[in-house]
Each structure stands twice: as C-alpha cells, then as structure tokens.
Amino acid sequence: GAVVSQHPSWVICKSGTSVKIECRSLDFQATTMFWYRQFPKQSLMLMATSNEGSKATYEQGVEKDKFLINHASLTLSTLTVTSAHPEDSSFYICSARGGTGGFNQPQHFGDGTRLSIL
C-alpha cells in the first residue's frame, strides 16, 4: 500500500519551455502533498506544501510564479515549472501524506522526475 506515482520520470527540453510534473497517490487519499528538489549529492529541499483545494504554501526563496502547484483532488497534485531555464535542472520529488493519524503519518514519495533544461 501507500504508493505514489510520479510522471514523467525524465524530461529533457529547451530553455523557455514549461514543464508539468504529475504526482498521484494510487491507493490512498492524500490530504497533503509536498514538492521537493534535490541537487546531486545533496539532501531534499522542501519547495512547497499543498493541501487539496487550497493554495500551496511556498518555502522562502521559491518563486510561486515560477513553480505553479495545483492540488485539485485528493489523489493528484501537479507542479509546473514555467519558462524553465538551465538553472532549474534538478531532481524533483513529490510526496504525499494521508489517511488517519494526521501529521504523524509518514510521507510516501514518488520516484522523482529528472528535469534537464538545455
């Protein structure tokens, strides 16, 4: 149980393109989803938190107009990197938390999306 699917797993595109990444909880309802970014040999850095039906909360230094997050249902959140540039190249990972037990439930992670901007 507790499977999170992330798609696509790998994206290569030209500078200026907008890229959408989907994150789905397959067998549970995710009341909260998180988006992280990970650079090589570094740990995961939280970008934003989204709750179903409400606006995402962005971490300091993360541009909300650059990284658009939509959490339209209890099983789907999307991250759109708008007008991507080479410095946006990174490994983006989503996670989801849901079920009973509230905040003490573990987060379950997708397998990440490797984004490469040429």
Partner 1 sequence: SQKIEQNSEALNIQEGKTATLTCNYTNYSPAYLQWYRQDPGRGPVFLLLIRENEKEKRKERLKVTFDTTLKQSLFHITASQPADSATYLCALPDDTGRRALTFGSGTRLQVQP
Distances (CA, A) of 118 to 3, 37, 82, 115: 32, 18, 14, 10
**Start-to-end C-alpha separation, the chain:** 37
Q: Of 13, 20, 74, 109, which lies in the binding site for partner 1, with binding defined by CB under 8 A?
A: 109
Q: How far is the CB of 114 from partner 1 (least distance, A)?
A: 7
Q: Of 24, 37, 71, 108, which lies in the binding site for partner 1, with binding defined by CB under 8 A?
A: 108
Q: Which amino acid is at 64?
A: K
# of chain residues touching partner 1 (CB under 8 A):
25
Question: Per rule CB under 8 A, is residue 60 in the interface with partner 1?
Answer: no
Q: Of 21, 24, 30, 34, which lies in the binding site for partner 1, with binding defined by CB under 8 A?
A: 34
- The SS3 call for residue 40 is coil
